[in-house]
Amino acid sequence: MGPSRSFQNLLLLLLPLALALCSAAASGEASRRFWVENDTFWKDGAPFQIVGGDVHYFRIVPEYWKDRLLRAKALGLNTIQTYVPWNLHEPKPLSWEFKGFTDIESYLRLAHELDMLVMLRVGPYICGEWDLGGFPPWLLTIEPTIELRSSDSTYLSLVDRWWGVLLPKIAPLLYSNGGPIIMVQIENEFGSFGDDKNYLHYLVEVARRYLGNDIMLYTTDGGAIGNLKNGTILQDDVFAAVDFDTGSNPWPIFQLQKEYNLPGKSAPLSSEFYTGWLTHWGERIATTDASSTAKALKRILCRNGSAVLYMAHGGTNFGFYNGANTGQNESDYKADLTSYDYDAPIREYGDVHNAKYKALRRVIHECTGIPLLQLPSKIERASYGLVEVQKVASLFDVIHNISDALKVAFSEQPLSMELMGQMFGFLLYTSEYQEKHSSSILSIPKVHDRAQVFVSCSHGDVRKPRYVGIVERWSSKTLQIPSLSCSSNVSLYILVENMGRVNYGPYIFDQKGILSSVEIDGIILRHWKMHPVSLNAVGNLSKLQLIMQMTDAEASKVSIYGDSENKLQDVSLYLNEGISEEPAFYEGHFHIDSESEKKDTFISFRGWNKGVAFVNNFNIGRFWPAIGPQCALYVPAPILKPGDNVIVIFELHSPNPELTIKLVKDPDFTCGQ
The residues annotated with a catalytic role in the active site are: 189, 272
Structural contact between residues 192 and 231, judged by C-beta atoms closer than 8 angstroms = yes
Residue from 75, 65, 85, 91 nearest 503 by CA? 85
Kind and range of the H or E run holding 112: helix 104-113
- From CA 673, how far away is CA 581, in angstroms rounded? 23
Residue from 379, 384, 327 nearest 353 by CA? 379
- From CA 217, how far away is CA 180, in angstroms rounded? 14
Length of the chain: 673
DSSP letter assigned to residue 366: H
- From CA 471, how far away is CA 142, in angstroms rounded? 28
Please, what is the angle between helix 104-113 and helix 65-75, to 10°? 40
DSSP line for 278-315: --BTTSPPP---HHHHHHHHHHHHTTT-EEEEEEEE--
First to last CA, the chain: 95
- From CA 495, how far away is CA 465, in angstroms rounded? 12
- From CA 238, how far away is CA 217, in angstroms rounded? 5
Kind and range of the H or E run holding 86: helix 86-89
Strand 601-604 relative to strand 632-635, pairing: antiparallel
Structural contact between residues 218 and 241, judged by C-beta atoms closer than 8 angstroms = yes
Structural contact between residues 305 and 114, judged by C-beta atoms closer than 8 angstroms = no
- Quick one: how many helices (H) and strands (E) in the chain? 13, 33
The strand order across the sheet containing 440-443 reads: 478-481, 440-443, 519-520, 523-524
